[in-house]
Copies of this chain bind each other. A is one copy, B any other.
Amino acid sequence: MLVPFAGLQVTQRCKPAAAQLQRPAQLPVARAQRCLAVMASESLANGTATDERVEALRKAMKEAGVDAYIVPSEDAHMSEYAPDCDARRQFISRFTGSAGTAVVTATAAALWTDGRYFLQASQQLGPAWTLMRGGSPGCPDIPEWLASNVPEGGRVGIDPFVHTVDNAVALDKKLSSAGRALAPLLTGNLVDAVWGTERPPPPAALLRVHRLEHAGESVASKVARMRKDMAGVGTGALLATALDEVAWLLNLRGGDVPYNPVFVSYVLLTTDTAALYVDAAKVTEDAKAHLEEAGVAVKPYDALLADVRALAAAGTKIWADPAKVSYAIHRAACEALAEAEEPKSPRGKRNSTPRKRPRRESGASEASAAETEPGTSAERRAERLFVALPSPVAAAKALKNEAELAGMREAHLRDAVALAETFVWLEQQVAAGAALTEVGVDEYLTGRRAAQPGFVEPSFPTIAGAGANGAIIHYRAQPEGCAGVDGETLLLVDSGGQYDCGTTDVTRTFHLGEPSAYQRECFTRVLQGHIALDSAVFPEGTPGLALDTLARAPLWSVGLNYRHGTGHGVGAALNVHEGPQSISARWHNHTPLEAGMVVSNEPGYYEDGAFGIRIENLLVIREEPTPHRFGGQAFLGFERLTLCALQRKMIALELLSDRELAWVDAYHAQVWGAVSPRLDGRDDALEWLRTHTAPLPARAPKAAAPAPPPVAAAPAVAVA
């Protein structure tokens, strides 16, 4: 399942990164001129209609003393999938897309989203709302818009639990340089007050222990590794707020949201304590024993802030990734430290203060320095209090151990059976002229997966897009009105499963009739990009961005491209999207690819209104036994996890090089060898696999190499 360029943080970045791909950096003047362009917004009905939810929010804003209120999509853990009770932006705006930020003032209500959702948002937003087309020329970002829509000196309210530190600090800076103030409200989310009793209850799924057989490392060992990392950067505490980090660290799984087997919680480690903050009702006896054995205390979810405050007041340095941790936690800690320091004598030195502040000018007295810089003292306090580095839990989680990899391989074998069973059924149905739909394909495939041992749930909503629907990158077929599946169009199926031992994510594109030459050319160029990335060998330390071009070059050569990343990290029996690595044009992500990481390889091509093509396998990064090791460095390459045939009729053989042809045959032989034993007795599926994994037919003999361009007659001379 691809990761779109458009991120979730519409609050911070109005322009989705898809536009970045096309113009990743502008010369300064062009950039500046663009800022002057007209606003790309759409007032759905002049913004004058009333909306009772918005009106109720305005009342709450007035009581809270703020002139505007920002409602992002995020929950307190910055989850990709949040529990229903956290779908505040959806509730207030009625827009259900995955990415968007609502902003309400006394007179306006605006929603920012990206190009994937312009149509949907314009249909779902009521007449009180203005749609802000993020990424369109001249679309202001939220702070710019607030500067025009909130009076000078006005206060912009946020719930600091649903904004990251990075996000809130940037917002604060922009607002304050525009003469407006950020007002983090700790008295509860104002949307919850409007939602009232209609708000869904918080999720309450029970915890499951993730068996050591699949986790491959005990909780005690993971905690010890984290403490080593903490010592390495001189910090006394580590806070994990991302739910997949908590689940990985504690070898626990949950069911609080669909698709991601996580549970709403925090973990706080110190050098000698470890605590899980979670609703106690979710902690089964099994989980309790498991945590006790690992020396992890269970505390109420809401107890986190008080414990963070206590650490901060004691001057303990806390490792908290500012791109993931909520501003609420950050502020609570800073305030606790300030309170702990301020009642003391203004120049008293506390042992717990990590480091003396240097004097900038040798002539300035310490007292005057303290008095003259209060404007920045909060920043400096935060610098002293926090280690603002990416989470070491995310980094450790990304590197799969051998047990996790064995589980991932097994999950992919089970998945391969379900895929073969589904695709042979699909061919039979179409051949028989059955009335098939996209939802029907999804249901059958999910059913075949569910028949496999250890299946938990899909790892994301299946994307089954026939014809033009295949070009909608995050399409989800709905029972009412979804397209039929027949022999007339291409069918793109992107799906995955959560198993007890691992997570899968695979995309195949089929034509169940006669594809056009153009469709075959596009498919083949996508395949060439897929092969180029799959075959890449690269020195350790290479970031994923350096490989993205390999997957695009065959499409670029004829002026084609795709507007999404090429590869994302995948968890082991965890979230199907995980960081920190990425293979994409996100040029700012310099995370090196490392042995043990799992990534997707999913180039595509999408012709609006016509068809979509994507070929996706999951890969494990492994050390490659290259004949040389330049500079003593290890070189890395990929091992394929996904085992599913490519549709032969879609491959334009004449476009493939000998090496590419050999790759296809080798991959198909690997699929046959690994999957056929599991299809024993299932004759239809076995025959389908045999047919689809046979060697490609020999090509017509190659034409001679193309003649050189006619710049001049090539000299007719014997070769030296």
Contact = CB atoms under 8 A, between A and B. Distances in A.
- The listed residue with most B CB atoms (<10 A of its CB), out of A234, A376, A547, A553, is A553
Contacts of A545: 545-546, 587
A708 B549 contact: no
A38 to B, nearest CB: 16
Interface string A60-72: 0000000000000
A714 B648 contact: no
This protein's copies in its complex = 2
B628 A233 contact: no
Contact of A648 (B374, B539, B540, B719): B719
Nearest to A358: B179
Contact of A29 (B233, B628, B716): B233
Nearest to A361: B181
A305 B165 CA distance: 42
Interface string A3-47: 000000000000000000111111111001100100000000000
A261 to B, nearest CB: 25
A540 B23 contact: yes
A537 interface: yes
A543 B28 contact: no
A153 interface: yes
A392 to B, nearest CB: 6
B559 A627 contact: yes
A546 B543 contact: no
B715 A690 contact: yes
Nearest to A399: B27
B717 A690 contact: yes
A559 B668 contact: no
B672 A720 contact: no
Interface stretch (A84-92, A195-203, A657-665): A657-665
Given A543-B587, A558-B626, A630-B560, A712 B669 contact: yes
A658 to B, nearest CB: 5
A179 B694 contact: no
A517 interface: no
A678 interface: no
B591 A25 contact: yes
A60 to B, nearest CB: 20
A692 interface: yes
Given A21-B541, A24-B590, A546-B548, A29 B232 contact: yes
A347 interface: no
Contacts of A697: 719
Contacts of A696: 719
B546 A585 contact: yes
A24 B587 contact: no
A628 B559 contact: yes
Given A372-B372, A694-B718, A702-B658, A670 B711 contact: yes
Interface in A125-156: 152-153, 155
Given A545-B545, A670-B708, A693-B715, 10 more contacts: A28-B392, A32-B232, A178-B358, A546-B549, A559-B627, A658-B702, A662-B706, A665-B714, A674-B711, A690-B715
30 contacts: A21-B539, A23-B592, A24-B542, A24-B590, A25-B541, A25-B590, A28-B392, A32-B232, A155-B362, A178-B358, A371-B372, A373-B376, A539-B556, A550-B553, A557-B626, A558-B626, A559-B629, A587-B587, A657-B658, A662-B708, A665-B708, A666-B709, A668-B714, A673-B713, A674-B711, A676-B712, A691-B717, A692-B720, A693-B715, A694-B719
Interface of A: 21-29, 32-33, 36, 152-153, 155, 176-181, 228-229, 232-234, 356, 358-362, 369, 371-376, 389-390, 392, 395, 536-543, 545-550, 553, 555-561, 563, 585, 587, 590-592, 624, 626-631, 633, 635, 648-649, 657-659, 661-662, 665-666, 668-670, 672-674, 676, 689-697, 702, 705-706, 708-709, 711-720
**A-B pairs with lowest CB-CB distance, top 10:** A673-B712, A559-B626, A179-B358, A559-B628, A669-B708, A25-B590, A666-B708, A23-B541, A28-B389, A673-B711
